[in-house]
């Protein structure tokens, strides 16, 4: 096992039909392989926090997932409750329609609301790159930075697209060293994982992190 890769992986279970036994299994795998976190829907935050206690593996929750189109106050409350239940990291979905409409102030404030509600947890902003032009991706990165996010992230994996080398390079260039980049969606083998890291990805999201080792 290559530990440097393992510590970059958010081991993810976001299926609608995920049962508690599935979530517990993911937590066991994350402990065994020393992944960075287990990423779940917020309803599982308390369970995951309990299962991972003392392991060094973090609880990560998605917010506004997978569409990003919830009311800003709903996203903020979901983030707050997830952190109260033990989440250390929040992956929120950007409001794609608002970005495309050019409503930058709304997008920025939507992100900022989650950032403030999630403290002391950190926030990653999911851009859903497969739906965006290059200009929109750069603008989303800028707005995420202005709102105080810690990461920008490529994809939910629920919109027909996933991480690409090109998107990771574009996002890394857009944020410089000021934010980190998470690649997610369609990462299923060690070669692609290493290529994404070489392109600038600081973190990887995968439904089976074991396959990346």
List, by residue number, the catalytic residues.
91, 153, 182
- Residue 124, φ and ψ in degrees, nearest 5: -110, 135
CA–CA separation, 60 and 211 (whole Å): 20
CB atoms closer than 10 angstroms to residue 172? 19
Query: DSSP letters of 139-154?
Result: HHHHHHHHHT-SEEE-
CB atoms closer than 10 angstroms to residue 17? 5
Q: Where are the beta strands (DSSP E) in the chain?
A: 9-13, 37-41, 58-63, 89-93, 122-126, 151-153, 180-184, 203-206
SS3 content of the chain, % helix, strand, coil (to 5): 50, 20, 35
On the CB side of 106, CA atoms within 13 Å amount to: 14
CA–CA separation, 172 and 194 (whole Å): 16
CA–CA separation, 42 and 2 (whole Å): 30
């Amino acid at each position: 096992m290559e530990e440097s890769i393992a510590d970059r992986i958010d081991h993810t279970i976001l299926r609608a039909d995920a049962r508690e036994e599935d979530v517990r299994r993911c937590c066991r795998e994350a402990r065994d392989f020393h992944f960075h976190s287990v990423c779940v829907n917020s309803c599982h935050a308390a369970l995951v926090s309990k299962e991972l206690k003392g392991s060094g593996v973090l609880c990560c929750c998605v917010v506004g997932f997978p569409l990003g189109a919830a009311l800003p106050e709903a996203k903020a409350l979901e983030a707050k409750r997830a952190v109260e239940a033990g989440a250390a990291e929040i992956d929120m979905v950007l409001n794609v329609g608002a970005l495309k409409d050019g409503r930058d102030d709304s997008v920025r404030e939507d992100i900022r609301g989650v950032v403030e509600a999630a403290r002391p947890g950190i926030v990653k902003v999911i851009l859903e790159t497969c739906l965006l032009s290059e200009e929109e991706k750069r603008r989303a990165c800028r707005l995420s930075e202005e709102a105080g996010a810690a990461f920008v992230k490529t994809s939910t994996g629920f919109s027909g697209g996933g991480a690409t080398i090109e998107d990771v390079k574009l996002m890394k260039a857009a944020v410089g060293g000021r934010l980190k980049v998470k690649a997610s969606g369609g990462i299923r083998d060690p070669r692609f994982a290493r290529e994404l890291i070489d392109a600038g990805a600081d973190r990887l999201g995968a439904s089976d992190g074991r396959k990346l080792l």
